[in-house]
Amino acid sequence: MSGTDDPLIEPDRLAAELAQPDPPTLLDIRWRLAGPPGRADYAAGHLPGAVFVDLDTELCGPPGAAGRHPLPDPGTLQAALRAAGVRAGHPVVVYDGGDGMAAARAWWTLRWAGHRPVRVLAGGWPGWLAAGLPGTVEVPAPPPGDVTVRPGALPVLDAAGAARLAATDDGTLLDVRAAPRYRGEAEPVDPVAGHVPGAVNLPATQYVTEGRFPTAAALRDRFAAAGVRADRPVGAYCGSGVTAAQTVLALHLAGRTDAALYVGSWSGWVADPSRPVATGPTPAG
């Protein structure tokens, strides 16, 4: 992959693009699972020209039966992206506080919405500063964008689809949460512990470190070791579809651009008490 087809961009490359007459649109997606919102971090310093976009309220729908970070309403998402200056067909770069998870969910959301030229800044805000590049506290006022949200450009799993994928040998559903959560030994966020029956545990920490990925070949090997096969479907879930979006990004880097995200993830799965729950170290529990 090269240019805007590559889902990642290094700080020095971004700095060079920002110096051009028509630079990429920058979105700051700093976010923490337990809060507070990242807007205060943005106010304290951000990339020059970046606009803050809130993951919880602008890139996702309200929490509920579909999970803690469900798909956004297309009209609401389009309004937020246009307010941030996103233009149809124009490159976008998203970044976060360095772990790459919120930025990956933003990358996935824009791609799902039909906006293809979007990349994640490798290393996020800390990586930008570590490269000796400048920050600012100035808040830009970008001209309104004209992007049109067209949902469905990336594959999505609902609960039924996730169950089917996990229950057969025709594909692999990856649970990328920490092993104790998968085994049902601990659940710090959601009301029920365990995993989707048939899902394979591959904690995100086994293939990404502080938002940095290994080579495509190393990713392919790691996914293959977890049971992912090139000729069979693959999907991913986590607690609420944020970390798993980073898994989908990693799968894209490994060549699996057909990888599906179970957006509702575990928070959506357990919202319905009739759905089965497996515990223990194996897919069947």
pLDDT digits (tens, 9 = 90+) for 112-158: 999 999 999 999 999 999 999 999 999 999 999 999 999 999 999 99
Q: Strand, coil or helix: what is 211?
A: coil
Res 104 pLDDT > 70: yes
Tell me which CATH code domain 3-130 carries: 3.40.250.10
**Mean per-residue pLDDT over the chain, rounded:** 96
- Residues noted as catalytic: 238
Cα gap 1→38, rounded to integer Å: 31
User: Rounded to two decimals, what is the model's pTM?
Assistant: 0.96
Res 199 pLDDT > 50: yes
Q: Where in the chain is the domain with CATH 3.40.250.10?
A: 3-130, 156-269
Tell me which CATH code domain 156-269 carries: 3.40.250.10
Token couple for 256: 């699996």
Cα gap 256→55, rounded to integer Å: 25
- 48 Cβ contact partners less than 8 Å away, ≥ 6 residues apart: 18, 134, 135, 136, 138
Q: Residue 270: phi, psi to the nearest 5?
A: -80, -5
Token couple for 30: 């700093």
For residue 4, the model assigns a pLDDT of 45
